[in-house]
Structure 1
Amino acid sequence: AQVTDVAIIVVAADDGIMPQSVEAISHARAANVPIIVALNKVDKADANLDRVKAQISEAGLTPVEWGGDIEIVPVSAKTGEGIDSLLTTILLTSEIAHFRANPDKAAAGVVIEAQMDRSRGPMATIIVQSGTLKLGDVVVAGSSYGKVRALFDDRGKHLRLAKPGTPLALLGLNEVPEAGDKVQVLSDEKVARLVALQRTREKRVEGLASTRAGGVDILQQIAAGHIKEMNLIIKADVQGSLEAIEQALKELNLSTARVRIIHSAVGGVSESDVLLAAASEALVIGFHTRPDPAARRAAEERKVEIRYYDIIYKLTEDIELALSGMLDPVYEEVVRGHVEVRATFKAGRVVIAGCYVTDGTITRNDEARVFRGGQVVTTGRISSLKRFKEDAREVATGYECGIVIDGFNDLKEGDVIEAYGQQRVS
């Protein structure tokens, strides 16, 4: 959202809208930028433009020719057909949106990504948004600073200067900045050092003061009347549940605030969902579905709240209470760890799972979910936990153990057991 002026969504004319297409559309709409759809592979015999345009319209993007505001440009990356039209559409869209930048001032931009190059040191890929960046300029990027020693374009060619809209790699910073950091040219290196030091202190204070921001803070702000719209990202196990949830949320009609569904899809909560939630200040709702490890890590790093439900009325009840400012203090679910079932054994009527702890620590009497093929098949309690036939109170990462799930005897090799508990967060 910080660096995008126009979003181009590429959709294949033969395959049509795919789940990743819907996800890309959700990101672009959340960023509130103009959208152009490039309808690729129009040279193929099975390309069906009308069918794909209908799918695009169903995804919430109405073509200009159907009375909407979305330009759809047929192209072929293979033959080059329509590329000139696409470029012309981008220029016209930019003109209508009145994108302007002054090149005659100190440069400013944003870090897209950064890394430590073994031979050249900290390297940041940035986009210049205004002004002109030149060799020798003193820059500050987040909490890093330095003098520009070298500039490279996307092909590795050396540059002496870069004007607005130019993507480039920059060498000369004292440390690796973070993606999203603002880049600014300052008068001298002493000032840049002081600014970087102040930002480092501010970041440290924020980290200590904010143990848990994100979704809970959003709910509290709604309760206080500071936010009038609740952004949601909803993931469910099946399409029927997803449609029922969306319909139930649309029926909520309160004067204090309203619900806006940024993105909804079938499947587990992904890292991309968390990144979208962070960008749009949204709550993530998982209905009969769980986040993958990458999503869980991203949620912790970006302080995004993920709420889990298995009953629709409970979900809508919580959202309604939050919108009306009456939501009670909540307990957050904390995942203790995961184990992989590698074998199963029978002891009378009880099935014992021979497991390997892949992460975290598993404790006897933890609540647990059993996943099979990425879907939850049951929830229960770890009633028995053993190590080499001996009862164990807990088993850590990297160790094997035997597990019995209370009341569930259909464990199979390849199942994943997730142990979890509850922790009060507000």
Structure 2
Amino acid sequence: MSETTDKPKLGARAPLGLKRTVETGKVKQSFSHGRSNTVVVEVKKRRILGRPGEAEAPKPEPTPAPAPAPEARAPQAPPPPKPAPRVADDPLTRRELQEKLLREAEEARLSALEEARRREDRQAQEATEDERRRAEENRRAEEEAKRQAEEEAKRKAEEEARQAAAPEPAAPAVAADEEERRPGHARPKQAHIPAKRPEPARPARGRDEHRRERGKLTVTRALDDGDARARSLAALRRSREKERRAHQQAGPQAKQIRDVVVPEAITVQELANRMAERGADLVKALFKMGVVVTVNQTIDQDTAELLVTEFGHNIKRVSEADVEIGIGGETDAEETLQPRPAVVTIMGHVDHGKTSLLDAIRGADVVSGEAGGITQHIGAYQVNLPDKSKITFLDTPGHEAFTEMRARGANVTDIVVLVVAADDGIRPQTVEAINHTKAAGVPMIVAINKIDRPGANAQKVREELLQHEIVVEDMGGDVQDVQVSALKKTNLDKLLEAIQLQAELLELKANPDRAAEGAVVEAKLDKGRGPLATVLVQRGTLRVGDIFVVGPISGKVRAMIDDKGRQVKEAGPSVPVEVLGLSGVPSAGDVLTVVENEARAREVAAYRQGVLDRKRTTSAPASFDTMFSALKEKQAIEFPLVIKGDVQGSVEAIVNAVNKISNEDIRARVLHAGVGGITESDVVLAKASGAPIIGFNVRANAKAREIAERDGVAMQYYDVIYDLTDAVKAAMAGELGPLMIENVVGRAEVREVFSAGKHGKAAGLLVTEGYIRKALKARIMRDDVIIYNGSIASLRRFKDDVPEVRAGLECGVTFENTTDLKPGDFVETFEVEERERTL
């Protein structure tokens, strides 16, 4: 008994250890590696078991206790911190006290285990109910999606039946828990297991009450309620999609034949994408055809057609030029056409009075604004007649540099008025105007001008016109002729009547209710307003805000100005206006077309610019002719030029005139030709290439002048094209230098060769032609091959020095720096004449 008392055996309850001192109420716990810990457990356990009013129930047997003990456990006072009784006062023996403590500890452990088990049961039950509820909701949603409205009552009945039968098994457990929570209730006392500690009361929940989800869905929870868990709608949707795909792929699918759009050049991969084929298959097919390419290489349209046909598709050829399809619109219907004013172009030779005649008709002074009284630009004006009808006049330059501009004027005109001076007759530019008019196929009216001058002979002009197949009405033809005087304003009304009569015969009509289309008569770059274009509307109505494309340039009409300087909102057929809003300066003669949007305009302009770039950079195929011409051009000296003009037409005329000056020795190379004033970039370009800058009716700005003076760049200003071309000719001739001309003055035959001094040789000559003079240039020819080119050092006849030997006589000659002389050689003497070069 004493051994048990000293070392009591506690079985497997090692963590509670008995190496504690009862007086302190602590437990010393031993761990591995010699570690230990002392904790107070007596107070905590007694506080858990010692609830107010329940302290007497868990006693195992009635034992006498001292009087102060019940008062110490009164509900109002907490238990003392050291509950272990002293041995001297407590009648229990040490063994009984230890057994009591062991029972209390075991009771607390079992109570905690039971509480944990009940908690897990409740949580599992709640989770099962939540899963069952979710499964029911999923099933209900699926059934509602599949069933019709008439099955709704049946579904509700089944749901109510399931809800009534669902949570029945859990009722006894809940009742037992509530019975156990009742105050004063104690479980039957057992021999070794003390009664469980009662739990605090929990609020009861109804069986059908909605409970929120607790925790995550685990495999255990899902398996506990396997029959109630349903598949989600997303899973059902995926499974149906999978079944549908499997059903579609079950049978052999027919090959889909496509219409493949193939441009002029396309990569293999892009063609495969359009055919919905694999790129590797196309490469393999090309390899079989003998074409080795990769998927990223470009093939032409014909090769692409072979591939498309090979794979069973239909090809649809397209070209880059297709962007222009529909750009001009369709032909107007007859019922939409309305009368329009006539467009009259005045043509003729230089200084025959074209602009003066138009000046007289308009009542304005146009000639005074032109340099030298010569028209440099195309002018477009509209004149109102007394009967309120209108005529549009185009005044084209007359001299030869503006041939292309006159050609453009003839192409946009309805009637041509050929001005011929009565005192001068038919001149070269008059003949060109006649040829342009015939090529354009437009009627002509001859205006015989300057009849007020002495020596004017209108009949002589009519007779000269017969040489060019123009027969006037007075001589039995169908061409009207009017004798006018622009200076005296004579017979101007007759000229206007003739124009009106011709216009009535033509029945000029156009559709004003459509997108505008017109021709650019002139274009220039204004310093303040930017690029400007004088446009003659040919059909439709041009309005402010219209988006258009003209040549390689797109734009939007910002403003329009008529020939009198007034801003207008719209311009109908045969109306000339100045258009603002271009992105660049177009070429005179380009067609302006209104399009539907800016994207289309940019697309067409980009295509046209690409065509121009290819024309400029693509070289012609090599041939003997082009090869020799290229070699000849390389031998010629290049004379670089930078040309700036006020309008596009003048710049083009100057470039053409300068190119005509070129010959086989020197040719002009226009580095840059543009519209507008001379800028710093022009000076920099001229400095880099050593070119002069030619300004036509323009000047350089201050910065450009400063750079030109600093770098020594020559700038020349002109306002008449004749002066410009003469200056360029003189400069190009000066670049070549004076012209050296050889004149052969004598020929002689070598009869004998003699020694002359230690190292020299003398030739005995017989002069056959001309004469031989000392210090003349001479060349020696052997078998018609020149072997020496130099000069005569000495000339002797019978041991006497003579200045000259003529034909038929013999002489002795020594040459400078040569001893290669043989009998039978021929000597040719010549003089070099220096002349001033002209082009």
Deviation (angstroms), 1:38? 0.6
Deviation (angstroms), 1:349? 5.0
CA 175–37 in structure 1, closer or farther in 2 if over 3 Å, else same: same
- Higher relative strand content: 1
| Structure 1 stretch displaced more, 130-139 or 30-39 | 30-39
CA 345–106 in structure 1, closer or farther in 2 if over 3 Å, else same: closer
**Residue equivalent to 1:412:** 835
**Residue equivalent to 1:258:** none
List aligned pairs for 1:201-350, cutoff 5 A: 201-209=610-618, 211=620, 291-293=660-662, 339-342=735-738
Confirm whether residue 158 of structure 1 aligns to residue 567 of structure 2.
Answer: yes
List aligned pairs for 1:133-148, cutoff 5 A: 133-148=542-557
List aligned pairs for 1:25-44, cutoff 5 A: 25-44=434-453
Contact 2:741 2:835 in 1 (8 A): no
CA 349–26 in structure 1, closer or farther in 2 if over 3 Å, else same: farther
RMSD over equivalenced CA pairs, Å: 3.8
SS at match of 1:20: helix
TM-score, normalised relative to structure 2: 0.28
List aligned pairs for 1:93-242, cutoff 5 A: 93-209=502-618, 211=620
Contact 1:140 1:146 in 2 (8 A): yes
Q: 1:64 pairs with 457, 461, 473, which one? A: 473
In structure 2, C-alpha distance between the alignment counterparts of 1:195 and 1:156, rounded to whole Å = 31
SS at match of 1:76: coil
Instruction: Write the letter of the residue equivalent to 1:121.
Output: G
SS at match of 2:477: coil
SS at match of 1:136: coil
Deviation (angstroms), 1:348? 5.3
Equivalent residues, number: 255
In structure 2, C-alpha distance between the alignment counterparts of 1:70 and 1:64, rounded to whole Å = 6
CA 298–95 in structure 1, closer or farther in 2 if over 3 Å, else same: farther
SS at match of 2:454: coil
CA 191–11 in structure 1, closer or farther in 2 if over 3 Å, else same: same
Contact 1:116 1:176 in 2 (8 A): yes
| Relative contact order, higher structure (CA 8 A, sep 6+) | 1
In structure 2, C-alpha distance between the alignment counterparts of 1:118 and 1:187, rounded to whole Å = 30
Contact 1:63 1:70 in 2 (8 A): yes
Confirm whether residue 23 of structure 1 aligns to residue 432 of structure 2.
Answer: yes
CA 176–84 in structure 1, closer or farther in 2 if over 3 Å, else same: same
**Residue equivalent to 1:85:** 494
SS at match of 2:509: coil
CA 407–137 in structure 1, closer or farther in 2 if over 3 Å, else same: farther
CA 210–7 in structure 1, closer or farther in 2 if over 3 Å, else same: farther
Contact 1:73 1:86 in 2 (8 A): yes
In structure 2, C-alpha distance between the alignment counterparts of 1:54 and 1:291, rounded to whole Å = 33
In structure 1, C-alpha distance between the alignment counterparts of 2:429 and 2:443, rounded to whole Å = 19
CA 206–341 in structure 1, closer or farther in 2 if over 3 Å, else same: closer
CA 20–409 in structure 1, closer or farther in 2 if over 3 Å, else same: farther
SS at match of 1:199: helix
In structure 2, C-alpha distance between the alignment counterparts of 1:408 and 1:58, rounded to whole Å = 49
Deviation (angstroms), 1:104? 1.6
Describe the superposition over 1:120-142 as per-residue Cα deviations: whole angstroms up to 9, x where unpaired.
11111111111111111111111
**Residue equivalent to 1:47:** 456
Instruction: Write the letter of the residue equivalent to 1:23.
Output: E
Unaligned runs of 5+ in 1: 217-270, 276-289, 302-336, 352-405, 418-426
CA 58–2 in structure 1, closer or farther in 2 if over 3 Å, else same: closer
Describe the superposition over 1:141-166 as per-residue Cα deviations: whole angstroms up to 9, x where unpaired.
11211211111122322122111111
Contact 2:536 2:574 in 1 (8 A): yes
Instruction: Write the letter of the residue equivalent to 1:72.
Output: D
**Residue equivalent to 1:357:** none
Contact 1:341 1:416 in 2 (8 A): no
Contact 2:776 2:830 in 1 (8 A): no
Deviation (angstroms), 1:341? 4.1
Larger Rg: 1 or 2? 2
List aligned pairs for 1:375-386, cutoff 5 A: none
In structure 2, C-alpha distance between the alignment counterparts of 1:408 and 1:160, rounded to whole Å = 75
Confirm whether residue 14 of structure 1 aligns to residue 423 of structure 2.
Answer: yes
SS at match of 2:835: coil
SS at match of 1:127: strand
Deviation (angstroms), 1:95? 2.5
Contact 1:9 1:38 in 2 (8 A): yes
Instruction: Write the letter of the residue equivalent to 1:148.
Output: V
Instruction: Write the letter of the residue equivalent to 2:575.
Output: T
In structure 2, C-alpha distance between the alignment counterparts of 1:28 and 1:298, rounded to whole Å = 32
CA 100–46 in structure 1, closer or farther in 2 if over 3 Å, else same: same
Structure 1 runs of 4+ with >3 Å offset: 205-212, 296-299, 337-351, 406-411
In structure 1, C-alpha distance between the alignment counterparts of 2:589 and 2:548, rounded to whole Å = 15
CA 97–416 in structure 1, closer or farther in 2 if over 3 Å, else same: same
**Residue equivalent to 2:128:** none
| Structure 1 stretch displaced more, 110-119 or 122-131 | 110-119
Describe the superposition over 1:248-291 as per-residue Cα deviations: whole angstroms up to 9, x where unpaired.
xxxxxxxxxxxxxxxxxxxxxxx98x98xxxxxxxxxxxxxx94
Unaligned runs of 5+ in 2: 1-409, 626-651, 673-731, 743-773, 779-828
The percentage of counterpart residues that share the same residue type is 40
Contact 2:547 2:557 in 1 (8 A): yes
CA 16–407 in structure 1, closer or farther in 2 if over 3 Å, else same: farther
CA 410–197 in structure 1, closer or farther in 2 if over 3 Å, else same: same
Instruction: Write the letter of the residue equivalent to 2:604.
Output: V
In structure 1, C-alpha distance between the alignment counterparts of 2:529 and 2:602, rounded to whole Å = 21
Deviation (angstroms), 1:74? 0.8
**Residue equivalent to 1:362:** none
In structure 2, C-alpha distance between the alignment counterparts of 1:155 and 1:144, rounded to whole Å = 26
Describe the superposition over 1:35-55 as per-residue Cα deviations: whole angstroms up to 9, x where unpaired.
111111122232211112111
**Residue equivalent to 1:311:** none
| Structure 1 stretch displaced more, 66-75 or 24-33 | 24-33
Deviation (angstroms), 1:98? 3.1
In structure 1, C-alpha distance between the alignment counterparts of 2:535 and 2:553, rounded to whole Å = 14
In structure 2, C-alpha distance between the alignment counterparts of 1:94 and 1:193, rounded to whole Å = 38
SS at match of 1:416: coil
**Residue equivalent to 1:334:** none
Instruction: Write the letter of the residue equivalent to 1:204.
Output: D
SS at match of 2:525: strand
CA 343–191 in structure 1, closer or farther in 2 if over 3 Å, else same: closer
Deviation (angstroms), 1:69? 2.4
In structure 1, C-alpha distance between the alignment counterparts of 2:562 and 2:662, rounded to whole Å = 35
TM-score, normalised relative to structure 1: 0.52
Contact 1:341 1:412 in 2 (8 A): no
Contact 1:340 1:416 in 2 (8 A): no
